């Protein structure tokens, strides 16, 4: 098995950018790697992503939960598991922790219910390393111009404060898996910190 790395964080935290930078750095270092994202990464997932992000849909929190989970199940089957079995490093922009933070802490759905659904959707697969780009929600949302905001970015600041609290609580419960990075640092400092940490794991041979 390979190494499974996920990126988490609120809106505008820089996850997508940093996941791409890490992917490029690993390839440059000769490490066989795969980059994917949630919701999406497959034809089905991308169709679900368009529904979830659209400003034209009023979607119940419970429906959000199931749509994210369906997309995740497909991504696991098509991309993540086969890539890990081939010994690749798999980098995923968002995973189950996003569902706990957004639909659990943010939307207020039952956390035990979410855990149960997550376990079904992933067959209990957990990331080896989760990188949390931590940023005050107000700063993150300021990075996203209003006219370009998706359905989640348009929700009030109180929701995003709850999401951040959720992430920090999740990280505190499982510090061995989480790397918390101050997302107010420069992009280059953040990418250097992340690569140093990942390189340390690869050098120590902690891959499955």
Which CATH number fits the domain that encloses residue 41? 3.40.50.300
Crossing angle of helices 187-204/15-28, nearest 10°? 50
In whole angstroms, give the CA distance from residue 191 to residue 197: 10
Which two structure tokens, joined as six digits, stand for 163? 């999401």
Crossing angle of helices 61-75/43-53, nearest 10°? 160
Let me know: does 99 contact 65? Beta carbons within 8 Å.
yes
Strand-by-strand arrangement of the 178-182 sheet: 33-37, 89-93, 3-9, 129-134, 178-182
For the chain, what is the domain count? 1
> pLDDT at position 146, please?
57
**CB contact set of 119 (below 8 Å; sequence gap of 6+):** none
Which two structure tokens, joined as six digits, stand for 96? 């189950």
**Mean pLDDT, contiguous 10-residue spans, the chain (208 residues):** 94 94 97 97 94 83 95 97 97 98 96 97 96 89 64 79 97 97 97 96 74
> pLDDT at position 207, please?
56
Q: How many other C-beta atoms are found inside a 10 Å radius of the C-beta of residue 70?
A: 15
CA dihedral sign of residues 42, 3, 83, 19: positive
> pLDDT at position 206, please?
58
The parent domain of residue 123 ranges over 3-204
Let me know: does 61 contact 103? Beta carbons within 8 Å.
yes
């Amino acid at each position: 098995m390979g190494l499974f790395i996920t990126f988490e964080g609120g809106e505008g935290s820089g996850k997508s950018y940093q996941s791409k930078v890490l992917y490029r750095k690993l390839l440059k270092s000769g490490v066989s790697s795969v980059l994917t994202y949630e919701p999406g990464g497959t034809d089905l997932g991308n169709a679900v992503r368009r529904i979830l992000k659209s400003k034209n849909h009023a979607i119940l929190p419970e429906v959000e939960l199931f749509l994210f989970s369906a997309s995740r199940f497909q991504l696991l089957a098509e991309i993540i598991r086969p890539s890990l079995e081939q010994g690749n490093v798999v980098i995923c922009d968002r995973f189950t922790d996003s569902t706990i933070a957004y639909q659990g802490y943010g939307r207020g759905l039952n956390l035990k219910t979410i855990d149960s659904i997550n376990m079904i959707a992933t067959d209990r697969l957990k990331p080896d390393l989760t990188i949390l780009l931590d940023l005050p929600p107000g700063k993150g949302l300021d990075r996203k111009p209003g006219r370009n905001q998706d359905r989640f970015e348009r929700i009030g600041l109180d929701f995003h404060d709850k999401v951040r609290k959720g992430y920090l609580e999740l990280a505190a419960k499982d510090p061995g898996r989480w790397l918390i990075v101050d997302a107010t640092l420069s992009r280059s400092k953040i990418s250097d910190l992340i690569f140093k940490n990942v390189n340390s794991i690869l050098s120590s041979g902690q891959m499955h």
